[in-house]
Structure 1
Amino acid sequence: MNQFIVMADIIEEPQLRYTSDNQLPITEMLVQFSGIREDDPPSKLKVVGWGNLAQEIQENFHAGDRVLLEGRLGMVSFDNPNGFKEKRAEMTASRVHKVGAGEITSTQPSATPAASAPAAKAAAPAAKAPAKSKPAAPAPAAVDYDDIPF
């Protein structure tokens, strides 16, 4: 199973377009995330969203936003300007979560684009509610290992 999760910053404004045959919406954006080691340069990755998620990405996310992306990672072949074939990693997003000051809001594909907006607004106040502490669980009873039949 190909599942990829990365926290990144959007560095290029999401661009919405439509397929020529059935007018399916597609959004493409460029994100950047830090390298594994301190001296590694930041990595850039093209992210693609399809359908309702594409419209929601274009409406709710902008350059400069920090996001948590979930999706599939794949390789795409293309011809460069010099006439050579190149390969590049590309992510097909299935979920996008905005990471802000102390809270995370989520954008997931929905049946209709308007259906997710009230859900995201309702989720934000719930995240700010103080967490209730649970009473401590009673300590487990002492086990006498001599009574275990082997």
Structure 2
Amino acid sequence: MNSCILQATVVEAPQLRYTQDNQTPVAEMVVQFPGLSSKDAPSRLKVVGWGSVAQELQDRCRTNDEVVLEGRLKISSLLKPDGSREKVTELTVSRVHHLSLDSATGILAQEEPEPRYGRGPAAPAPVTASPTVASTTAPDVDYDDIPF
């Protein structure tokens, strides 16, 4: 299964467009994440979101935002005009988690998602334990009187 989770910084703000039938929104943006070692330069990656994820990218992602992206990684091979091939990597996003910097502690934390339908999340129902009494004696059952 192709699944990727990546924490990155938005470098280019999302651009929203629509498919040819003007039905499905598609958002594209570029993110950057640090290299594996301190000597490595930061890497950039094209990110694509479809449908409601595209709308969320457009509405909530801005340049220099910290995000955690979940999705599928895709590598394509393109033929250049000079005849050579170039590998292009792209992340198709299925979920976006927005991070914010706490000014008091300097720690990144996940932002609370905005309610989708005008209402906040439902409060969890209180859990009440009902007392149960365990029987310590075996019931008096006569197994010879069981009809077959």
TM-score (norm 1): 0.67
Instruction: Name the structure 1 match of 2:138.
Output: none
Query: Size of the alignment, in residue pairs?
Result: 116
State which structure, 1 or 2, has the greater radius of gyration over its C-alpha atoms: 2
User: 1:79, CA displacement in angstroms?
Assistant: 4.2
User: 1:80, CA displacement in angstroms?
Assistant: 3.9
**3-state DSSP of counterpart to 1:53:** helix
Instruction: Name the structure 2 match of 1:26.
Output: 26
CA RMSD of aligned residues (A): 2.5
Aligned 1:49-64 pairs, distance under 5 A: 49-64=49-64
- Please tell me the residue identity of whatever aligns with 1:39: K
CA distance in 2, matches of 1:92, 1:59: 17
Deviates further, 72-81 or 42-51:
72-81
- Please tell me the residue identity of whatever aligns with 2:110: I
Q: Deviations over 1:21-77 (max 9, x none)?
A: 353110000000001111110000000000011011101111110101111001123
Report if the CA contact (8 A) 1:97-1:106 is conserved. no
CA distance in 2, matches of 1:35, 1:72: 20
**3-state DSSP of counterpart to 1:63:** coil
Report if the CA contact (8 A) 1:66-1:98 is conserved. yes
CA distance in 1, matches of 2:112, 2:36: 25
**3-state DSSP of counterpart to 2:101:** coil
Structure 2, unaligned stretches of length 5 or more?
103-108, 124-148
Q: Deviations over 1:103-130 (max 9, x none)?
A: 20366xxxxxx963757xx57xx9xxxx
Structure 1, unaligned stretches of length 5 or more?
108-113, 127-150
Are 1:78 and 2:81 matched, yes or no?
Answer: no
Which runs of at least 4 in structure 1 moved beyond 6 Å after TM superposition? none
CA distance in 1, matches of 2:60, 2:110: 13
Instruction: Name the structure 2 match of 1:104.
Output: 110
Aligned 1:1-16 pairs, distance under 5 A: 1-16=1-16
CA distance in 1, matches of 2:15, 2:81: 22
